[in-house]
């Protein structure tokens, strides 16, 4: 039986399993139920969000019916529905919003919500996350953080390919972004995903109030209804984590980095300052391409950013994005799929935001451009990691590898999960389903010379 995760200073959240419910003839299997508290500034509203896996038939039935809700015995209000109203491709989740105008007068952290359709009436409990203390530099009425990030990709380790180990890369990635303005990280832990090693890595940040650890490691396979040794199951977990993270960040962060992986780095030195120019704008997200960099020669001795070889052109891979959580409703790993009306996505050229993706082996013939932007920061990064963990990187990396391999040896589930995850490639799975609209979108983003409004890929019939 897995032991409950505990990390000193971390904000611990144990993901809850919700039994399927039947309301108005519709079967609703909520993946998360999350209270969202509006800001005292601006027009943001409070509501309780019910996350569901996207299903086109269910979406049509829900939009054709009237669903109401009551919170803690308050007035009945009509439920708002998002996630299927746009024509954009790769919808993963949809969401119900139960309006909560009386949130300011709430008592306690858990609330009783009734969903009502005709004579049908079901009850669901919605519990708030216990918030950490507000950073002292944030004025009253503002969100807790200017910028937060999700670690939503299931982390893995493969001793035969340490350069691709998300667990080995995690300390570097956390330190890099912590020094560039990310104030809080939402870290998701799956069953068998070397949870004790991940806990050890995040602990120095947790002691500073920078970590929410979302634990799905207590036998919650049924939460996802999936096999963790399958590519499809692992992708389903990531789809859930990034949407769950969006809603946990809504009450807390002005901007969110939802799907940037442990081998991807922004060139901006102070990310929140650069994002200020977009605050209050009509943009729901900023999207951008990535340069492929090679891995360093030894990941145990060198930092990821010490590699300085990249391809000349931006990679023909899916763009990534930063978003404003307050106005986005649902996500796919490469673009939001639902957002408030009137908002647009802004594409940024590489001259405005350079992003490195350390993905390939060294000496690939196409990676013949020397780019020292990231490697020039390596000495400072090594010193920061030593301050954080108390040892030099070569000692830290080998210690982490030893611990995670010990977990794999002593946990059959961890061995299966980590090895299958290392072999899987979500982009490979998607390649079989991509149409010309997708490739046109990549080309449009990569060819940008100036910032420009760009629509995510959509069904041809919608144009």
At residue 412, the pLDDT reads 47
Mean of the per-residue pLDDT values of the chain: 87
**Chosen domain end from 100, 127, 154:** 127
At residue 219, the pLDDT reads 46
Residues 199 and 277 in one domain: yes
* Phi, psi of 281, rounded to the nearest 5 degrees: -85, 180
445-455 pLDDT, tens digit each? 999 999 999 99
Question: Can you give the residue range of the structural domain that contains 60?
Answer: 15-127
pLDDT higher than threshold 70 for residue 156: yes
pLDDT-derived band at 203 (thresholds 50, 70, 90) equals very high
At residue 379, the pLDDT reads 97
CATH code of the domain containing 39 = 2.60.40
On whether the CB atoms of residues 148 and 183 are closer than 8 A, the answer is yes
Residues 118 and 186 in one domain: no
pLDDT higher than threshold 80 for residue 46: yes
pLDDT higher than threshold 70 for residue 229: no
Residues 206 and 239 in one domain: yes
Average pLDDT (30-47) is: 83
Residues 121 and 209 in one domain: no
**Residue 4 lies inside a defined structural domain of this protein:** no
pLDDT higher than threshold 50 for residue 260: yes
Average pLDDT (107-134) is: 88
**Residue 136 lies inside a defined structural domain of this protein:** no
At residue 365, the pLDDT reads 67
**Chosen domain end from 92, 127, 162:** 127
pLDDT higher than threshold 70 for residue 314: yes
Q: Which residues, 6 or more positions from 365, have their beta carbon under 8 angstroms from its beta carbon?
A: none
- Quote the CA–CA distance of 213 and 129 in Å, as a whole number: 11
Residues 71 and 160 in one domain: no
Residues 101 and 153 in one domain: no
Q: Give CA separation, 37 vs 34, 103, 214, 463, in Å.
A: 10, 7, 19, 36
Average pLDDT (54-70) is: 96
Residues 168 and 300 in one domain: yes
Average pLDDT (62-67) is: 94
pLDDT higher than threshold 50 for residue 21: yes
Please indicate whether residue 44 or residue 177 has the higher confidence score (pLDDT).
Answer: 177
Residues 192 and 73 in one domain: no
pLDDT higher than threshold 60 for residue 74: yes
Least trusted range by pLDDT, from 110-114, 258-262, 404-408, 420-424: 420-424
342-372 pLDDT, tens digit each? 999 999 999 999 999 998 865 566 778 999 9
Average pLDDT (278-296) is: 91
At residue 16, the pLDDT reads 86
401-451 pLDDT, tens digit each? 999 988 877 764 544 444 444 454 444 444 445 556 678 899 999 999 999
- Quote the CA–CA distance of 419 and 406 in Å, as a whole number: 14
For the chain, how many structural domains are there in total? Answer: 2
**Chosen domain end from 93, 127, 161:** 127
At residue 217, the pLDDT reads 60
pLDDT-derived band at 395 (thresholds 50, 70, 90) equals very high
**Residue 212 lies inside a defined structural domain of this protein:** yes
Residues 316 and 437 in one domain: yes
């Amino acid at each position: 039986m897995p032991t409950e995760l505990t990390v000193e200073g971390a904000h611990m959240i144990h993901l809850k399993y919700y039994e399927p419910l039947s309301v108005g003839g519709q079967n609703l299997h909520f993946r998360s139920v999350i209270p969202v508290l509006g800001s005292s500034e601006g027009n943001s509203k409070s509501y309780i969000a019910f996350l569901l896996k996207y299903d086109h038939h269910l979406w049509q039935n829900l939009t054709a019916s009237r669903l109401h809700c009551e919170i803690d015995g308050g007035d009945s209000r009509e439920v708002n529905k998002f996630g299927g109203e746009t024509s954009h491709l790769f919808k993963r989740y949809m969401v119900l919003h139960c309006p909560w105008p009386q949130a300011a007068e709430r008592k306690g952290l858990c609330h009783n919500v009734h969903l009502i359709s005709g004579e049908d009436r079901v009850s669901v409990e919605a519990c708030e996350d216990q918030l950490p203390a507000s950073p002292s530099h944030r004025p009253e009425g503002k969100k807790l953080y200017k910028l937060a990030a999700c670690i939503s990709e299931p982390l893995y380790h493969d001793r035969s390919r340490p350069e691709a180990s998300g667990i080995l890369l995690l300390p570097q990635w956390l330190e890099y972004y912590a020094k560039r303005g990310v104030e809080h990280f939402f870290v998701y832990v799956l069953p068998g995903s070397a949870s004790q090693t991940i806990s050890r890595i995040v602990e120095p940040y947790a002691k500073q109030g920078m970590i929410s650890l979302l634990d799905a490691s207590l036998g919650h396979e049924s939460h996802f209804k999936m096999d963790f040794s399958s590519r499809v199951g692992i992708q389903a977990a990531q789809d859930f984590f990034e949407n769950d993270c969006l809603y946990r960040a809504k009450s807390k962060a002005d901007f969110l980095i939802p799907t940037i992986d442990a081998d991807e780095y922004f060139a901006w030195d102070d990310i929140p300052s650069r994002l200020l120019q977009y605050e209050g704008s009509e943009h729901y997200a900023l999207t951008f391409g990535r340069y492929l960099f090679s891995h360093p020669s030894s990941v145990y001795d060198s930092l990821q950013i010490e590699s300085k070889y990249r391809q000349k052109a931006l990679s023909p891979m899916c763009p990534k994005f930063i978003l404003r959580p307050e106005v986005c409703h649902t996500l796919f790993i490469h673009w939001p799929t639902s957002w408030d009306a009137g908002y647009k996505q802004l594409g940024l050229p590489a001259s405005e935001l350079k992003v490195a993706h350390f993905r390939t082996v060294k000496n690939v013939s196409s990676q013949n451009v020397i780019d020292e932007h990231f490697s020039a920061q390596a000495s400072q990064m090594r010193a920061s990691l030593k301050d954080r963990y108390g040892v030099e990187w070569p000692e830290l990396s080998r210690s982490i590898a030893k611990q995670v391999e010990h977990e794999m040896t002593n946990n059959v589930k961890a061995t299966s999960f980590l090895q299958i995850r290392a072999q899987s490639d979500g982009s490979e799975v998607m390649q079989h389903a991509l149409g010309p609209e997708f490739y046109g979108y990549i080309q449009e983003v990569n060819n940008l010379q100036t910032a420009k409004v760009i629509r995510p890929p959509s069904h041809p019939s919608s144009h």
